[in-house]
Amino acid sequence: MRKKSPRAISLDLLNQMKEADRHPDQLLTDSFKRYRHLTPLDRAFLTELTYGVLRWRGRLDWLISHFSKIPFGKIDSEIVNILRLGFYQIVFLSRTPPSAAVNESVELAKRIRGKGGAGFVNAILRSFLRLKDKTPYPDIKEDPALHISVVQSYPIWLVRKWLEEMGEEETLKICVINNQISPLILRTNTLKIDRENLIERLRENGLNPFPTPFSEEGILVIAPPPISELPFLKKGLYIIQDEASQLVISILDPKPGERILDACAAPGGKTTHIAQRMSNIGEIYALDLTMEKLGLIKEMCRRLGVESVKTIKGDATKTLPIPQGLEFDRVLADVPCSGFGTIRRNPDLKWRKGEEDIRRLSDLQSSILRNLSFYVKKGGILVYSTCTVFHEENEDVVEKFLDEHREFRLDPVDKVASPLIADAKSEKYHSFFQKGYFKTFPPKNQMDGFFVARLLKT
């Protein structure tokens, strides 16, 4: 196989993403396996290019539109991705010489669209190099939404929604922090090792790990290597999981010997966390729609040494395929959501999801919550969780459910007796608790945006 440059591979990945519904991480991992000639520096550059273009696509497209004589919608899609790569290197990568960015972009265009494509790319990028100091952006005083949309690279509908809900200052904050590279957070698998020993072993292997401030199993790794080079991952001593996601199970607060249902469980991060907290003692039913998803759960359980999980194939909006009358001490409804609390690690979300998805998902979330409520025993706990920041998918869903199901009441999160809340009176936890709910917000908490409601069946 001909050796491809990181720029050429990144172009392939960006072209694929338009068609494939796959996470960029999956595509990058496949590329690392396929192109064995890539050095660690090559892999880092490939990752930087791919995620950088996804993160800053809106601003890059504005520049292309500004300097192209052809309307943006009529430019060949592969040429658009070549221009995005070129502009990204020139604008954001100070260590890449602009001449190298232009020449490599022109070469890519020449291979794909011949001399005409090469000339078009060359003209646009060189025009920008001549005039970049004079390039105007929308004025924030005249149109705050358009300015933030272009300069911070977000869809205009999303910026307008945030401006309406949070105001200009908070909108700018969330846009800025979501354009930063997310930290690498690990969750210690306490079935095999404790956090202190894992931190020590990671340091012995040249990493720079620190305990997270809130999750008692979390580890922050400073300046991490590529995920494929992390030690002990395949041995199941930890998984990669954001700190906010880890805190969900503290609110569920499972106990050894209980029967727990984890609906919408794939890929198994929260399922295996429940098993850890239960010391592998009890029953955990992990529900998801397809055998493929259940396979992911089984593989994670195998790697982490989890033995208390029973996978079941089913739809969380319909009657579950379990023995009639079976009830659960606790049910986790970690529902499908728009995911806008995770933009730092999933920048492609900005361009894949729209406002109509929020409305569609809120209906689905309500259906799941209603259905799962029938499987909670009297005195049991139903936890509703999302990784998004919108009221329509969070408070609105829960409040509608509570209006319709008087047998449930909100169990205020700040009163839960669990490891997270053990020090609830400490000021460092106060920002998490809002009107009985648990909420994290990237600009405030330096973690993904999560929402959790704990409901008690009376």
Q: What is the CATH number of the domain that holds 418?
A: 3.40.50.150
Residues 188 and 218 grouped into a single domain: yes
Q: Answer left, alpha or beta for residue 412, where phi above 0 means left and psi between -120 and 50 means alpha.
A: beta
192 close to 209: Cβ distance less than 8 angstroms: no
- Res 421: pLDDT: 52
**Do 174 and 188 lie in a common domain?**
no
pLDDT tens by residue, 35-66 = 989 998 999 999 999 999 999 999 999 999 99
The reported pLDDT for the residue numbered 36 is 87
* 437 phi and psi angles, rounded to 5 deg: -95, 165
Residue 43 forms part of a structural domain: yes
Q: How far is CA 101 from CA 55, 90, 125, in A?
A: 18, 7, 9
CATH code of the domain containing 234: 3.30.70.1170
Same domain membership, residue 358 and residue 214: no
Annotated catalytic residue within 264, 301, 337, 387: 387
Domain boundary among 134, 155, 170: 134
Residues 229 and 251 in one domain: no
How many Å apart are CA 122 and CA 140, to the nearest integer?
31
Shared domain for 154 and 231, answered yes or no, is no
Kind and range of the H or E run holding 451: strand 451-457
Note whether 274 and 416 are same-domain residues: yes
Name the pTM for this structure: 0.91
pLDDT for the residue 417: 47
Q: Which residues 6+ apart lie within 8 Å of 94 measured at CB? A: none
Residue 38 lies in a domain: yes
Whether the Cβ atoms of residue 84 and residue 60 lie closer than 8 Å to each other: yes
Residue 428 within any structural domain of the chain: yes
Three-class DSSP category at 326:
coil
232 lies in some domain: yes
How many angstroms separate the Cα of 141 from the Cα of each of 144, 157, 165, 168?
A: 6, 18, 19, 11
Q: Is the peptide bond before 323 cis (omega within 30 degrees of 0)?
A: no
- Which token pair is 88? 């990204």
Nearest-10 Cα torsion for 440, 242, 348, 453:
-40
| Same domain for 423 and 297 | yes
Same domain for 301 and 427, yes or no, is yes
386, two tokens:
């999302």
- The number of CA neighbours under 13 Å toward the Cβ of 351 is 17
pLDDT of residue 20: 62
- Average pLDDT over the chain reads 93
Q: Are residues 118 and 170 in the same domain?
A: no
- Give the structural domain span for 95: 6-134
337 catalytically annotated: no
Task: Say yes or no: 169 and 85 in one domain.
Answer: no
Q: What share of the chain is helix, strand, coil (3-state, %, to 5)?
A: 50, 15, 35
Backbone CA torsion sign across 88, 89, 90, 94: positive
pLDDT at 420: 53
- Let me know if residue 420 belongs to a domain: yes
Compute the distance between CA of residue 307 and CA of residue 310 in angstroms, rounded to an integer.
9
Instruction: Identify which of 203, 223, 317, 333 has the alpha carbon closest to the alpha carbon of residue 270.
Output: 333
Shared domain check, 322 and 444 = yes
Q: Which residue has the tokens 């931190």?
A: 199
Q: Rounded distance, CA 136 to CA 132, Å?
A: 9
| Residue 189 located in a structural domain | yes
3-state SS record for 203-234: HHCCCEEEECCCCCCEEEEECCCCHHHCCCCC
Q: Please tell me the total count of domains within the chain.
A: 4
CA Rg, the chain, in Å?
24
Reference 389, options 448, 317, 329; nearest CA is 448
Q: Are 190 and 51 within one domain?
A: no
φ/ψ of 130, rounded to 5, equals -75, -35
CATH of the domain at 117: 1.10.940.10
Beta-carbon contacts of 175 under 8 Å, excluding residues fewer than 6 positions away, are: 148, 152, 154, 159, 162
> Residue ranges of the chain with pLDDT lower than 50?
1, 417, 422, 424
Q: Which two tokens stand for residue 299?
A: 């593989």
Domain-located, residue 84: yes
Residue 1 lies in a domain: no
Pairing of strands 283-288, 259-263: parallel
